[in-house]
């Protein structure tokens, strides 16, 4: 692989990564919302002024422990759609567990994809099996020895 191809590949990888991160941010909130609902969080639309005010103060895209009217609640705000996903301790523990499993699954998928990409690389660009950087294995001292047993050459190289 020449330098131009390497730079083109790196540029493509960088652009692809940026697009994936941007799409991932939008998809991440939706994923968190889906996990929250699956774990028993209730979807609440704030109607009281105190609820609306509280919703706007919470960190975006993050489950936060919040005290409200004498109780403790875990809240995932969706300010854009004027709603919140609200759960108790039990729901939050299930949420954390499921999110961790989801992250591990995503990491395993990424690792598998990277391994697949590495396996399909053009090995000739690295010198193939004939050597690294155009240097044959013999240049590294492996092919300079005679046949096994020496063949009477005293262990020297090929003659």
Classify 122 as helix, strand or coil: coil
Say how many Å lie between the first and final Cα of the chain, rounded. 34
**Does residue 29 or residue 146 have the better pLDDT?**
29
Res. 144: pLDDT tops 60: no
**Dihedral pair phi/psi, residue 157, rounded to 5°:** -80, -175
For the beta sheet containing 71-78, the strands, ordered from the edge strand earlier in sequence to the opposite edge, are: 42-44, 83-87, 71-78, 64-68
**Dihedral pair phi/psi, residue 91, rounded to 5°:** -65, -40
For residue range 34-90, list pLDDT tens digits in order: 999 999 999 999 999 988 888 889 998 899 999 888 999 999 999 889 999 999 999
Task: Using alpha carbons, select from 137, 31, 23 the residue that is nearest to residue 78.
Answer: 31
pLDDT at site 61: 87
pLDDT at site 23: 44
pLDDT at site 22: 42
Residues 133/139/141/147 CA torsion (nearest 10 deg): 120
Residues of the chain above pLDDT 70, percent:
58
pTM over 0.95: no
Strand partners, 29: none
Q: State the Rg of the chain over Cα.
A: 29
For residue range 27-40, list pLDDT tens digits in order: 687 889 999 999 99
Classify 69 as helix, strand or coil: coil
Q: Measure Cα distances from 141 to 125, 128, 137, 148, 159 in Å.
A: 22, 17, 7, 15, 15
Q: Please provide the average confidence, as pLDDT, over all residues in the chain.
A: 75
Strand partners, 68: 71
Mean pLDDT lowest for which of 71-85, 98-112, 136-150? 136-150
pLDDT at site 86: 95
pLDDT at site 107: 86
């Amino acid at each position: 692989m020449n330098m131009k191809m390497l730079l083109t590949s790196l540029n493509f990888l960088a652009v692809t990564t940026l697009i994936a991160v941007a799409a991932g941010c939008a998809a991440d909130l939706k994923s968190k919302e889906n996990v929250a609902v699956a774990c028993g969080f209730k979807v609440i639309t704030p109607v009281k002024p105190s609820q609306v005010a509280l919703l706007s103060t919470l960190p975006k895209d993050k489950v936060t422990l919040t005290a409200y009217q004498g109780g403790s609640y875990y809240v995932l705000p969706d300010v854009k759609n004027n709603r919140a996903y609200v759960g108790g301790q039990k729901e939050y523990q299930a949420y954390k567990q499921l999110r961790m499993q989801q992250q591990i699954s995503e990491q395993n998928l990424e690792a598998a994809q990277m391994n697949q990409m590495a396996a399909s690389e053009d090995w000739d660009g690295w010198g193939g099996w004939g050597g690294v950087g155009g240097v044959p294995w013999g240049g590294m001292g492996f092919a300079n020895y005679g046949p096994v047993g020496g063949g009477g050459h005293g262990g020297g190289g090929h003659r």
